[in-house]
Amino acid sequence: MPALDSSLTEIRTFYSVKEIREVVEDQLNQYKMMLEDYTQWLGTLLRNPERSKDQEWAKKTAELQKILKAGVRKGGKKEEKSNTSTDWVQFKELLLCADDFGEAEIIFEAVEQIKTKVDKLEKIKSSLVDLERYGLGKDVLYITFMHDGIPERMLFKPRKGTEITKFQFIADFSIAK
């Protein structure tokens, strides 16, 4: 799977809203593929017949699956998973683990974060589709602040040599007598 270039903060200039939407759609597709891969990996790990004989593993797996079914967030905040984590040790800015169940925990956490990004990208894509309908013109540059591959702010700027006119509505009305 290709690596996502989304873990950075950048300012990108686009020449149309369609171009931004296409970038968002590509990001969305990559995240969806990654989400599918990680979900399958987690499922395979949790259903491993050799490990299911281990009572501690079975207990942790049941707790993790309960969290998966219930959802991680309550009231918009992430719930603490301290009851499933056992052998994580802080080493400076890293958490380290030698427990076999640590693998399931990091995959689970990655799946939850990717789901959040997919949701956000879906909403951004919808906003961009609506923005495309307004047809802001071809003489506009879209300077876009992107964080983790997700457009968060957009500035409209006229291309060099062109002027942007404010939105105007000019019409002639006729009234039948």
- pLDDT in the model for residue 138: 75
pLDDT of residue 133: 87
What pLDDT is recorded for position 132? 87
In a domain, 170, yes or no: no
- The whole domain housing 109 covers 19-135
What pLDDT was estimated at residue 177?
62
Residue 142 domain-assigned (yes or no): no
DSSP 63-113: HHHHHHHH-SEETTEEPP-TTT--SEEEETTEEEE-STHHHHHHHHHHHHH
Angstrom CA distances, 24 to 7, 101, 127, 165, stand at 14, 34, 11, 28
Classify residue 145: in a domain, yes or no: no
132 or 29: which leads in pLDDT: 29
Does a structural domain hold residue 130? yes
Judge whether 177 lies within some domain: no
For 4-46, the pLDDT digits (tens) are 555 689 999 999 999 999 999 999 999 999 999 999 998 888 7
pLDDT score of 164? 53
Sign of CA dihedral 14, 18, 20, 23: negative
**Cβ–Cβ < 8 Å for 64, 43:** no
**Stretch 102-129: mean pLDDT, rounded?**
93
**pLDDT for residue 135:** 79
Mean residue pLDDT across the chain? 79
Res. 73 pLDDT band, cuts 50 70 90:
very low
| Statement: residue 51 has pLDDT above 50 | yes
In a domain, 162, yes or no: no
Q: Is the pLDDT of residue 156 over 80?
A: yes
**160 within domain boundaries:** no
* Number of domains the chain contains: 1
Q: What is the mean pLDDT of residues 106-132?
A: 93
Residue 127 pLDDT class (50, 70, 90 cuts): very high
Does residue 96 sit within a domain? Answer: yes
Q: Does the predicted model carry a pTM greater than 0.75?
A: no
Overall average pLDDT of the 115-138 stretch: 90
Buried/exposed code over 46-71 (b: 16+ C-beta within 10 A; e: otherwise): beeeebeeeeebeebbeebeebbeee
Give bridge partners of residue 78 from the DSSP assignment. Answer: 73
Higher-pLDDT residue of 55, 47: 47
